[in-house]
Amino acid sequence: MIKNLEKKLKKRSPLRKFGAMVSLVTTLMFSGIGANATEPGKMCIVLDDAGSTLRSYENLKKLKKQNVPLTIAVMPNSPYDLNSLDELTNYDNAEILLHQQMEPQRFNDCSWLQKGLELTLRNKKQEYNPKIHAAIYSWDTPEMAVKILGNNIEKLNDYLININSDKRILGFNNHMGSEVTRHPDIMTALAEYAKKNNLYVLDSLTTSDSVLHDISKKIGHSNTFERNGLFLDNNVKKTRPLEFLEKYKVGIENGNSYILIGHIDNDVTVNDIIIFYNNGNKLSRLSEMK
Ligand SMILES: [Zn+2]
């Protein structure tokens, strides 16, 4: 993931000619590009995979107790998706996204990718059943992709309405998707749907080849974002998320804003976010990143 982001930043950085690229990219990642010195930037943390495991559900309760300002991405048709919505409905400082499952690269060769995509996999020959299926595959037509996204959002929103919640699904980001997000036809259809329905688009950028954010911008959808910071828990054994979070503070003071992604079923990530917030650091939700 870091490699992908580095590749993308390399493409964009005007300083690419100078110095060792990896260290430069790492420096840019934390100190920011195009600083606006007049006022500090913002940090938004999106926590993915809500609903996927019991641990994700327990960690959500922990974050709610502290009312940490976060954007929580709920995975539809997952074991704890609806329980997570029960918690989120009165978690004041949380915003909710749909964590839209999308086929990754090397999907057919990796059993762990297959296991992590959705509970009941769908193949080309099977008919889509919204009760058990939730993921978008690269062989889906753009119309089918929109239908799946729409059904997933509707299902979660219907539940929120049923429990008299004031909250709604504000938009979506991609779960996996290194294959699907490279497909311009599917991404155009999803971006058009998001624009029409006033939904936020967040490109998780699981591949530097993703076209979701670029297409969304091109069609004039103003509420579109992409991850421009690290995946917080990429390698927690080597670097603690808290260490990464602290490093972004310099860039924020210099006027840069960051959207980072972590995983709610990762205890270290969740505990470090709580520590970071309780140390007095300001966190913003996705809607505040405009
Ligand atoms: Zn995910």
Q: Quick one: pLDDT at residue 3?
A: 45
CA of 287 from ligand 1 middle (Å) equals 20
The residue among 186, 180, 216, 183 whose CA lies nearest residue 198 is 216
CA 144 / ligand 1 centre spacing (Å): 21
Which residues contact residue 65 at a Cβ distance below 8 angstroms, ignoring those fewer than 6 apart?
A: none
* Domain ranges within the chain, ordered by starting residue: 2-9+41-104+137-289
Name the residue with tokens 């972590």: 262
- pLDDT for position 15: 33
**How many whole angstroms separate alpha carbon 269 and alpha carbon 272?**
5
C-alpha 282 – ligand 1 centre gap (Å): 24
Percent of the chain with pLDDT over 90: 84
Residues 223, 93: Cα–Cα separation, whole Å: 20
| Residue carrying structure tokens 């699904």 | 169
Q: What is the pLDDT of residue 235?
A: 87
Per residue in 9-39, pLDDT (tens digit) is 444 433 333 333 444 445 556 655 445 557 9
92: alpha, beta or left? (left if phi > 0; alpha if psi -120 to 50): alpha
Whole-number Å distance, alpha carbon 38 to ligand 1 midpoint, is: 35
Distance 210 CA to ligand 1 centre (A): 15
What is the per-residue pLDDT for 234? 87
Q: pTM for this structure?
A: 0.88
135 Cβ partners below 8 Å, 6+ apart?
Answer: 101, 102, 103, 117, 118, 121, 122, 148
Q: How many CA atoms lie within 13 A of 68 on its CB side?
A: 29
**Among 256, 263, 274, which residue's Cα sits nearest to residue 232?**
263
Q: Tokens representing 82?
A: 């609806």
Could you list the mean pLDDT of each consecutive 10-residue stretch along the chain, which spans 290 residues? 46 37 49 62 98 98 98 97 98 98 94 92 95 97 98 98 98 98 98 98 97 98 96 91 96 96 97 98 96
As a 3-state breakdown, the chain gives helix, strand, coil percent values, each rounded to 5, of 45, 15, 40
Residues in the chain: 290
CA of 37 relative to ligand 1 center, distance in Å:
34
Whole-number Å distance, alpha carbon 19 to ligand 1 midpoint, is: 34
Q: How far is the CA of 50 from the centre of ligand 1 (A)?
A: 8
CATH (residue range 2-9+41-104+137-289):
3.20.20.370
Residue 20 in contact with residue 176, Cβ under 8 Å? no
CA of 204 to the centre of ligand 1 (A): 9
Distance 262 CA to ligand 1 centre (A): 9
pLDDT reported for residue 237 = 86
- The region, left, alpha or beta by phi > 0 then psi within -120 to 50, assigned to residue 177 is left
Task: Compute the distance from residue 48 Cα to the ligand 1 centre, in Å.
Answer: 5
**Cα 57 versus chain centre, distance:** 17
The alpha carbon of 51 and the centre of ligand 1 are apart by a number of angstroms equal to 11
Give the model's pLDDT for residue 29.
Answer: 60
